[in-house]
A and B are shown apart, each in its own frame.
Chain A
Amino acid sequence: MATNSQSRGFQLQDALFIGFCATLLVALKSMLRLRLGLSGHSMLLMSFFYLTCYCTVARVGAITACGAMAGAVAAILGVGKGGPILLVKFLAPAIAMELTLLLVQNLLTLRWRLIVVAVAGAIVWSAKGLLEDLLVGMSWQVASVRFAAKVGSGGVFATIGALLVIPVVRRLKAHDLLYRDSKIDQEL
């Protein structure tokens, strides 16, 4: 793909790819929920699609945009439970991943960067659950155990999702679908 435009905001094709990824995330999430019913499995899809957007679009804000789109699409399609709260459910891990990415952008190799960012997303995703549990009046011991279980399972799934991103990005590069001057393209 041609070189990346430095104009403000995302290019339309990038915005559309983010939207497609968000929609596919929501659709797959709704299907997997019925089949698996495992706690934390949603972090697999979330980290995979968020990080794919980051690697493909190669711009700050791609993960947050994907999270916001996924929340909006889920609320519109009625997938998941929680109505308007769905927006926070998708957006909170996305913002955490974006911020972590800004911190570790120049510190780690691509593989470790993706893993660290995915685990950060899983921790925030679990923290949202902890906050909900405490607000509904669970004892802090039970809430802590649930939080630890969610961090553990969510972290494992998020790491698997992050590791799946690199082969995808390599394949996109093989199809000349990555921006040629982007940092990700140079790292592969």
Chain B
Amino acid sequence: MPVSHFSRSQATPISSRSLWFAGTAMVLALLLSSAAFFVPQVYLPWLAGIDALLVLHGVINKGNLGGLLRYILLQLLFTMVLYLAIHGGNQVGQGVMAVARILLALLPGWWLTSTVSAEAIGELLSKVMPSKWAFVIVASINLLPFMVNEAREIYQLQLLRGARISPKQLLNPRNWSELCYCVLFPLLVQLLKLAQQTATAARARHFGHKSRRTHWRPGQSENGNK
């Protein structure tokens, strides 16, 4: 899923069935990715068959395979050039097999992210990490659209001030430092201030008063908060 498309409105309660599916999918993806590196060559067709089923399932769930295929083609090209330069075409098959293993290692991860929602994976992670860090991850992801907007606003303002950071001007590497000074550095200052404000807001809602995970219910009086 493209980062810019993630929004708070997509957050919905996760059913226990979805959580089980997400957990199983994560373990399966981990096992299959690892198997691509470790199984003997004779078992690779079996692994390819399983991955083909996952690809079919992912495509049915409207997963986009284009980016992954472009990456693999680039890897294949680079590896083939190296094999031809070093081994003179004697071991090209070995290079193709190596890239095929890389593809088999990447496909389960692609399937996982195509079929399991981001919220389900987040909920799952919150069960295995401290509540403070689970809160940090959820807050960071929910504030991502805000950060992107903030960056866009800073960029537009600096353009109006005459900074040489328009897409055409950025083709010149000499203008890259201006992008850092005018956009990236102020954005980090804003992020640090945002972190302070978020922490103050969370503490005002009694975050961190109890070791276990708590939820703030909107409309609840301060005295009645649990």
A172 touches B33 (CB 8 A): no
Contact of A83 among B1, B29, B143, B186 (CB under 8 A): B29
How many residue-residue contacts, CB under 8 A, span A and B?
182
At the interface, yes or no: B112 with Cβ under 8 Å from chain A? Answer: yes
At the interface, yes or no: A171 with Cβ under 8 Å from chain B? Answer: yes
User: Which residues of B does A touch, CB under 8 Å?
Assistant: 1-4, 6, 26, 29-30, 33, 36-38, 41, 67-68, 71, 74, 79, 82-83, 86-87, 91, 94-95, 97-99, 101-102, 105-106, 108-110, 112-114, 118, 121-122, 125, 129, 132-133, 136-137, 139-141, 143-144, 147-148, 180-181, 184-189, 191-196, 198-200, 202-203, 207-208
A103 and B206 CA atoms in complex are apart in Å by 39
Contact of A78 among B91, B118, B187, B195 (CB under 8 A): B118
User: Which residues of A does B touch, CB under 8 Å?
Assistant: 9, 11-24, 26-27, 30-31, 34, 37, 52, 56, 65, 69, 72-73, 75-79, 81-86, 132-133, 135-139, 141-142, 145-146, 164, 167-168, 171-172, 175, 177
Interface of A is mostly: helix
B195 touches A13 (CB 8 A): yes
Q: Write the nearest CB–CB distance from B49 to chain A, whole angstroms.
A: 19
A138 touches B118 (CB 8 A): no
Q: Write the nearest CB–CB distance from A105 to chain B, whole angstroms.
A: 23
Q: Write the nearest CB–CB distance from B120 to chain A, whole angstroms.
A: 9
A21 and B143 CA atoms in complex are apart in Å by 12
Q: What residues of A have a CB within 8 angstroms of the CB of B189 in the complex?
A: 171-172, 175, 177
**Chain A residue with Cβ nearest B208:** A12
Q: What residues of A have a CB within 8 angstroms of the CB of B99 in the complex?
A: 136
A27 touches B3 (CB 8 A): yes
Q: What residues of A have a CB within 8 angstroms of the CB of B97 in the complex?
A: 136-137
Q: What residues of B have a CB within 8 angstroms of the CB of A20 in the complex?
A: 140, 143, 147, 191, 194-195
Interface of B is mostly: helix
**Chain A residue with Cβ nearest B4:** A27
Nearest 10 CB-CB pairings of A with B: A83-B109, A78-B113, A13-B199, A136-B101, A19-B136, A19-B140, A17-B195, A16-B195, A135-B37, A23-B140
A31 and B198 CA atoms in complex are apart in Å by 26
A23 touches B144 (CB 8 A): yes
**Chain A residue with Cβ nearest B37:** A135
Q: Write the nearest CB–CB distance from A132 to chain B, whole angstroms.
A: 7
Q: What residues of A have a CB within 8 angstroms of the CB of B180 in the complex?
A: 164, 167
A17 and B197 CA atoms in complex are apart in Å by 11
B191 touches A12 (CB 8 A): no
Given A81-B68, A139-B87, do A16 and B139 touch, yes or no (CB 8 Å)? yes
Q: What residues of A have a CB within 8 angstroms of the CB of B129 in the complex?
A: 72
Q: What residues of A have a CB within 8 angstroms of the CB of B3 in the complex?
A: 26-27, 30-31, 77, 79
B110 touches A81 (CB 8 A): yes
A75 and B101 CA atoms in complex are apart in Å by 21
A77 and B113 CA atoms in complex are apart in Å by 8
